[in-house]
Structures are given as C-alpha cells and as structure tokens.
C-alpha cells in the first residue's frame, strides 16, 4: 500500500515523531530498529505506521545496532530506500559500519537523537555520540527543533541519493530538547514530497540481471584513488546541498541557509557558535543581554559535514570574540574540551582578522544550558574583548566564578 | 496500490543412485557463477564449495561475502570471480547484511520497484564469522526468517589471517593461537562449538543441514533445498584448508569424505516441517579417527591419549546419529591401543611450516 495522501497540515509532535513522519513521507522501503533512548520513539512511531498500513516498509527489529546498520547497508546496496537511527552508545556499537557504508556510497539515512556516552549511564543529550563519527564520510548536521528535523530528513534523502553525491546522512537532533519536546510542525502534501524527492535509484545495485561486485579487496596502491573519490564526493555535495535547499524553499515555502544560521549578528561584537537545540535558548538569552546593552549574537552551524570552512571563516571574522558552546567531549583535544573549538580555529586560521576564540563546556551530560549560563558566557566573551586576549581557552561552565 | 505478490522459483533436485558417489552428473548446470582465476590456494576446500554452491543456485543469485578467505582471496579489485552480484560485508555482519538484501527485495518486489522472481540470496561466511563474531547477526537473520541461505564454510579456523583458532577448531588442532607446547601438548584443549545443531535448535522453523565437499551431489541438493525453503536456511559445510590443515594438496575431497567416515563431521538435515533431525545419511564405510588425523600436519603433535579422546568424541557423534559402534571403534578409543603421532619437538617443526 502506498503512503496515504495527506493534505498539508499543522500537527503538534515531538522531534522523534517528526523524524518518523519524514521517513513515512519519503516512502522508505526498509526500516531497521533497535531500542535505545531517546531515539526509540521514532521507531515506535514507525512500527505503528507500518502496523496500521500507513507505510509499506519492511520493518526489521535488529539484534544490535551493528546489525541495524549492516541490514541498512545490505538493503541500500540492493536498491531500497533505507531509514535507521540510534542514540548514544548505540551509535558507537555500530561504528564499524560507518566507513563501509560511505565507502560503498550507499545513501543510508540515520536519525540520531543524541545521548551522552557511558559512563555513567545518562539519558541526557550530548553531541559526542554522533560527532565521534564525523569523519567517516557521512553528511551530518543538527536540527534545532522538530520542524527543522522533519525538513532535514527530506533534504538528507534528496542530497544523499543524488547521483553526484551518493553518501549516507546522519540527521541529528538533541535528545530530549528536540526529540521529546512537542511543537507545531507543518506536514506537507505528499505531492510536494514527490516533486522534491525523486525515487531512489542507485546506479549499481545488487541486481542479478546486471552483476556487480561491491567492496572487493584492494592493493595498497589502489587505495589513494578510491579515498580521493570519496573525498571528492563529500566536496561535490556542497553545490547539491545548496541547490536542494533552494528547491526546498520553492516547494515547501521554508527557506534555510544550509550552512549557518545567524541571529542578531549584524552589529554583534561577540557571538556564540553552536549546533542544535541550545540555539533556541541562546536566542532568548541574546535578547535579554541585548536589553542590557551587550552586542552579542548567535552563529548556529547547521551542517558540520561537509564543513563550510570558508563560510565559517567569512562569518566569524566579522566579530571580536567567538564563544564556542561545545555540548560534546573531546578529552585531551586541542582545547582539552570539545570538538568544535578545533573546527572553528581551523577555519579561522587563514583569516586576516582572527577573533579571539573561547571554548565553553556547557550542557554536558545533557543538562539544560540555562539563561544564567548564557549570561555568564557572554560576560566572559565581553571580558576577553575588553582585555584583548583570552583568560584561558576552555571554561567549564558552572565550575568557575 | 495493492501489494504485488512475490514470485519464488523452485530448483529441482539432482538424481544420484548414491549420494556420495563421485562421478560426472549430466544434470549439473553449465553455468559457473563462480569462475576460475581467483587467488585461493590449490585444493582450497572453501572455493570448491563455493563453486558447487553457486552452480546449484544458478544465475538468479546474489552472494554476500563477509570478511574471510572467500573475500580476501577471491575478490581482487578490478578483477572478480563472481558472475552474479556479490557484496563484501564486515565479518560480524554475515546475517545482518544478508537480511538487508532479502528485506530490500521483499519490499521492492511488493511495491513494484523491482520486477522478477525473488533472487537466491546466499551468504558465504567462514566459521570465524559464523561461529564467533557474526553469530548473533546470523541468529538474528534466521530468527526473523528472511528468505536467504546462510552458509558457514567451515575450515575450522581463521585461515585468512594466518591460521588462528576459532570456536570450530577441533580439539587437538594446532593453530597459531593454539600451538602445542610442554604445558598444552594437545594444542587446542576445547571442543568445537556444535554450531549447526545450535542453529537448528534455536531456529526450528529454518531448514538446517551439514554437508561436506566430499559429497558434491549431496551438498548441491542441500543447497537447493535450503533455497527452495521459503524463509531462512542454514548450512555448515566442511571445507578443508590445505594451508591450515597441512596436507597434500590433491587430498581435499578425500579429507571431505574421511571426516565423515571417521564420525568427526556428522551429516544430517533438520526438517523444519516435521521438526526433526534426519540422520539417514551413511558414508560408505566407518573408520577410526586416526586415519583422518594422520593425513594432517595440524594433528602431528598428538599423543595416543589425545587421539583416544578424539575417538571418544567421534563415537559419541555416531551414537547420537543412532549408529551402532563396531568393536574396532570402541577398541580405538582406548589410548593403550594407540601410538603417538609424533614427539613434541617434531610438532614444533611442523608448526613452523604453517
């Protein structure tokens, strides 16, 4: 049974259900599930849709996340549109498969609702789970609310399945802050989705009528051209991503910058740089700080792979101080804090006018970053601006005066 | 749109007056989905099995190759021995990747996205993949009953990585991870995992069988039964490895018969409809295990007591199949009646040849 026709309508759903709805609208063929909070709610919703006959898909309860991803790999290799997902340590359990899936150029889509890694057992959202896979050849970005999540799933299929790209996608959302917060989401008409998202057609599927061999053993000298090809696919995705966002705006009426969202930056001196749901709180904090005269703004990174290096350089070079809000853990890294600091500094190295960069370890363990903490971080950035240099690279927010 | 019914093909059985006979069978298809020109060793048991299996399956077939010899030695980039679609997957993904292929075809045929009869989907997993790292993934695929055949080509070791013990390596088998020495004169001290029985017991809705390259017609018929069975099927096939077993290259098929004649590789089928084992397969003769062991360098270090231990193990297998033991085999289970294979020093010399 094909997907039921649903006229464009507003519903109140959380991020997990928005992701499930997107998979339904994309008319996925194979779904692979394995339970782990908080992303489970997506698979619960999809199970019900399949049971109700709203979506015709093979819904497979895998025996582990490793199996989940390899079932997805096998199904995508055969020509099916595949949807999977995970959270936290589940993302890690499947780690082996990320490189083979992108290496064989299979556009599997994976929904991530972030969860802190063990130890200790913690349900809270931290971006470390997905970020630890960031260099495996998957397109990757964070949504800040349920609507954006829904849209990013459709965009992900469109971009990843484009024959010029053929790469898997990790469509990430913060656990709980997006996955379990109910908001208004506009669901499109199926006709709009059909117009935007053509059927998946891999050029070389496992088809007995056109035999191909996938993933044979290579000699070391055959490695460089293959790796270069994968690197070029990632770079080649850039114009496809931009084109897809333009067409998305035309068809659905929602216009996104695919790389960066800027909020109150036109006259800002200091800015936050972050990904995902904490951007919502940051906007409110910025409004409050603005009332007190602080020229603060927000730069939210929307796509981290491929990383918009030049764009980050161009945007952040305008400011005096950048405060990176990490929400992830990179122990012993460049800043001894999070992953994003090095990504920001790397992009800024070629800038003629480098801002000061601070790394804020906030929202760790999935704790909410409250307004008070945003005020405190703003003050640290203003202090650095005044002093003309940073006090230190990394601040653990909540542990300092 | 109404769901499109999935069409399935049925493959006929090969007739043979004696399942174990080695003669030219005119019914064998001409097709060679697995062609020569790959890089496996001369006399490679797994690749002989691969040829038989894919011949029995025919051209409407998709092969899945988890990491192992049959991945590394067969598939060389820009050159492939597979005349049908083949995909590599990770060593722990044998069952899961295969399940994905099967699920994709179910969905695509049902939704009208692919037209044609359901393909034969065969996974060729080595015993390392099948008995150790990919065990859960295969169990998952059998449990969920995807329409596919998962084969464990059992060469009783991790051969691709240079001969390491797997949970299918027999008691007394020397590998680089289970070498003989003063403290462990028998080398491998553990008995092999009873893998195929475990799969039959745990997934009784599946067709499960054991086979050996020593009995090609029987092997190919079992492959066809597994493919004809609607749902998941599992086979564990004895495929000797010249490199790891250390034997004379032309004797692969002989070993494939001897292992059965010595009772070390029980041949059976699990009938999912009747929910019972079929132990009716009988080799032409029964022999003491020493006749099998003495042809292989990997057992060259065994002492009389170890050979007796293996004979007791074989005798238990015969009993399990309902075979009455001749006195000669009972006699052979007593170490007093046996002699050592070689001294420990010589075993070390043999080990260096591995």
Residues of A in contact with B64 (CB under 8 A): 74
Q: Do A70 and B93 touch (CB under 8 A)?
A: yes
Domain ranges of chain A: 9-252, 260-396
B86 lies within 8 A of chain A by CB: yes
pLDDT at B114 over 80: yes
pLDDT over 70 percentage in chain A: 99
B132 closest CA partner among B156, B148, B149: B156
Classify burial at A7, counting beta carbons within 10 Å of its beta carbon; exposed 0-12, middle 13-18, buried 19 or more: exposed
Compute φ and ψ for A60, nearest 5 degrees. Answer: -110, 125
Question: Helix-strand-coil percent breakdown of chain A, rounded to 5?
Answer: 40, 20, 40
A57 closest CA partner among A33, A32, A29: A29
Range of the domain at B276: 45-285
Residues 113-142 of A with CB under 8 A from B: none
Please state, in angstroms and rounded to a whole number, the distance separating the CA atoms of residues A333 and B229: 55
pLDDT at B23: 60
Nearest CA to CA, how far is A52 from chain B (Å)?
A: 15
pLDDT at B94 over 90: yes
User: Can you tell me the ipTM of this complex?
Assistant: 0.94
Residues 235-274 of B with CB under 8 A from A: none
Minimal Cβ distance to B107: which of A80, A214, A216: A80
**In sequence order, what are the beta bridge partners of B154?**
B238
Please state, in angstroms and rounded to a whole number, the distance separating the CA atoms of residues A197 and A200: 8
Residues 42-101 of A with CB under 8 A from B: 56-58, 60-64, 66-68, 70-80, 82, 96-97, 100
pLDDT at A207 over 90: yes
Half-sphere exposure (Cβ direction) of A154: Cα atoms closer than 13 Å: 30
CATH of the domain at B168: 3.40.50.970
Is position B177 within any domain?
Answer: yes
pLDDT at B2: 67
* Structural domains in chain B (count): 1
Query: pLDDT tens-digit profile of A294-309?
Result: 999 999 999 999 999 9
Is position B255 within any domain?
Answer: yes
Cα dihedral B121, B122, B125, B131 sign: positive
Mean pLDDT of B151-163: 96
pLDDT at A2 over 50: no
Is position B38 within any domain?
Answer: no
The CATH superfamily assigned to A9-252 is Thiamin diphosphate (ThDP)-binding fold, Pyr/PP domains (3.40.50.970)
Q: String of b and e for B141-163 (b: at least 16 CB within 10 Å)? A: bbbbbbbbbbbbbbbbbbbbeeb
pLDDT band at A1 (very low <50, low <70, confident <90, very high): very low
Angle between helix A278-291 and helix A371-387 axes, rounded to 10 deg: 60
Question: A31, B110 in Cβ contact below 8 A?
Answer: no
B93 lies within 8 A of chain A by CB: yes
**Helix/strand number for chain A, H first, E second:** 13, 15
Please state, in angstroms and rounded to a whole number, the distance separating the CA atoms of residues A271 and A274: 10
pLDDT at B344 over 90: no
DSSP annotation string for B103-170: HHHHHHHHTTSS-SSPPEEEEEEEHHIIIIITHHHHHHHHHHT-SEEEEEEE-SSBTTTTSB--TTSP
Class of A260-396 per CATH?
A: alpha beta
Cα-Cα-Cα-Cα dihedral of A40, A41, A42, A46, to 10°?
100
3-state secondary structure of A136: coil
B48 Ramachandran zone, left/alpha/beta (phi>0; psi -120 to 50):
alpha
Question: A100, B89 in Cβ contact below 8 A?
Answer: yes
pLDDT at B16: 64
Residues of A in contact with B5 (CB under 8 A): none
Minimal Cβ distance to B61: which of A1, A96, A208: A208
Range list of β-strands (E), chain B:
61-66, 86-89, 120-126, 148-154, 207-212, 232-238, 269-271, 276-278
Is position B294 within any domain?
Answer: no
Nearest CA to CA, how far is A353 from chain B (Å)?
A: 47
pLDDT over 90 percentage in chain B: 82
Q: From B1, which residue of chain A is nearest by alpha-carbon distance?
A: A1
Q: How, if at all, do strands B61-66 and B120-126 pair?
A: parallel
Is position B261 within any domain?
Answer: yes
Q: From B103, which residue of chain A is nearest by alpha-carbon distance?
A: A58
Range list of β-strands (E), A234-391:
260-263, 270-274, 296-301, 321-325, 356-361
Query: pLDDT tens-digit profile of A179-197?
Result: 999 999 999 999 999 999 9
Query: pLDDT tens-digit profile of A65-81?
Result: 999 999 999 999 999 99
Query: pLDDT tens-digit profile of B305-339?
Result: 999 999 999 999 999 999 999 999 999 999 999 98
């Amino acid at each position: 049974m094909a997907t039921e026709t649903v006229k464009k309508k507003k519903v109140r759903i959380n991020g997990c259900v928005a992701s499930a709805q997107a998979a339904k609208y994309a008319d996925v063929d194979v779904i692979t599930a394995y339970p782990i909070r908080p992303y489970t709610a997506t698979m619960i919703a999809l199970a019900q849709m399949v049971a109700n006959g709203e979506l015709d898909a093979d819904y497979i309860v895998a025996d582990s996340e490793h199996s989940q991803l390899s079932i997805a790999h096998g199904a995508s290799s055969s020509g099916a549109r595949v949807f999977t997902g995970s959270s936290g340590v589940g993302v890690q359990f499947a780690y082996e498969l990320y490189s083979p899936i992108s290496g064989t150029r299979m556009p599997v889509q994976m929904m991530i609702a972030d969860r802190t890694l063990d130890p200790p057992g913690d349900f809270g959202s931290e971006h470390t789970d997905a970020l630890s896979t960031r260099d495996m050849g998957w397109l990757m970005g964070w949504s800040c609310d349920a609507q954006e999540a829904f849209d990013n799933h459709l965009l992900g299929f469109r971009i990843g399945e484009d024959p010029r790209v053929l790469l898997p996608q990790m469509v990430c959302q913060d656990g709980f802050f997006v996955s379990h917060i109910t908001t208004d989401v506009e669901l499109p008409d199926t006709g709009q989705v059909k117009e935007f998202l053509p059927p998946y057609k891999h050029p070389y599927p496992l088809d007995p009528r056109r035999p191909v061999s996938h993933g044979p053993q290579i000699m070391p000298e055959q490695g460089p051209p293959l790796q270069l090809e994968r690197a070029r696919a990632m770079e080649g995705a850039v114009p496809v991503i931009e084109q897809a966002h333009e067409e998305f705006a035309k068809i659905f009426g929602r216009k996104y910058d695919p790389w960066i969202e800027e909020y109150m930056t036109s006259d800002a001196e200091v800015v936050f740089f972050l990904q995902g749901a904490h951007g919502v709180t940051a906007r409110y904090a910025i409004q409050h700080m603005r009332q007190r005269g602080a020229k603060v703004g927000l730069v939210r990174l929307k796509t981290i792979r491929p990383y918009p290096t030049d764009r980050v350089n161009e945007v952040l070079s305008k400011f005096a101080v950048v405060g990176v809000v990490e929400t992830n853990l990179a122990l012993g890294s460049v800043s001894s804090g999070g992953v994003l600091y090095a990504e920001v500094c790397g992009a800024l190295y070629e800038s003629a006018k480098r801002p000061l960069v601070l790394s804020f370890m906030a929202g760790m363990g999935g704790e909410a970053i409250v307004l008070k903490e945003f005020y405190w971080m703003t003050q640290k950035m203003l202090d650095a601006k005044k002093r003309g240099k940073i006090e230190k690279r990394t601040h653990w927010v909540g542990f300092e005066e | 749109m109404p769901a499109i019914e999935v069409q399935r093909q049925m493959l006929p059985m090969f007739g043979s007056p004696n399942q174990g006979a080695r003669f030219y069978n005119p019914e064998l298809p001409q097709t060679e989905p697995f062609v020569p020109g790959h890089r496996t060793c001369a006399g490679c048991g797994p690749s002989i099995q691969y040829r038989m299996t894919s011949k029995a399956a025919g051209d409407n077939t998709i092969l899945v190759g988890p990491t192992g010899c049959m991945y590394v030695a067969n598939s060389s980039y820009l050159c492939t021995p597979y005349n049908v679609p083949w995909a590599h997957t990770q060593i722990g993904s044998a069952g899961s990747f295969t399940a994905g292929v099967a699920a994709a075809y179910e969905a695509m045929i049902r939704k009208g996205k692919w037209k044609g009869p359901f393909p034969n989907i065969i996974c060729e997993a080595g015993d390392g993949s099948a008995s150790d790292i990919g065990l859960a993934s295969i169990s998952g695929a059998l449990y969920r009953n995807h329409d596919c055949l998962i084969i464990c080509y059992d060469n009783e070791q991790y051969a691709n990585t240079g001969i390491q013990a797997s949970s299918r390596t027999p008691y007394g088998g020397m590998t680089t991870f289970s070498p003989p020495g003063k403290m462990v004169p028998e080398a491998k001290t553990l008995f092999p995992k009873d893998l195929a029985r475990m799969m039959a017991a745990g997934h009784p809705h599946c067709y499960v069988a054991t086979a050996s390259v020593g009995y090609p017609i029987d092997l190919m018929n079992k492959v066809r039964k597994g493919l004809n069975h609607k749902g998941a099927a599992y086979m564990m096939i004895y495929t000797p490895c010249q490199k790891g077993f250390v034997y004379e290259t032309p004797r692969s098929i002989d070993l494939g018969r001897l292992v059965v004649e010595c009772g070390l590789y029980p041949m059976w089928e699990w009938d999912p409809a009747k929910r019972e084992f079929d132990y009716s397969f009988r080799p032409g003769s029964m022999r003491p295990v020493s006749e099998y062991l003495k042809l292989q360098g990997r057992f060259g270090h065994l002492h009389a007591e170890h050979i007796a231990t293996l004979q007791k193990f074989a005798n238990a297998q015969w009993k399990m199949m309902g075979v009455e033991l001749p006195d000669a085999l009972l006699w052979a289970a007593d170490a007093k009646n046996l002699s050592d294979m070689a001294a420990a020093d010589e075993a070390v010399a043999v080990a260096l040849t591995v």
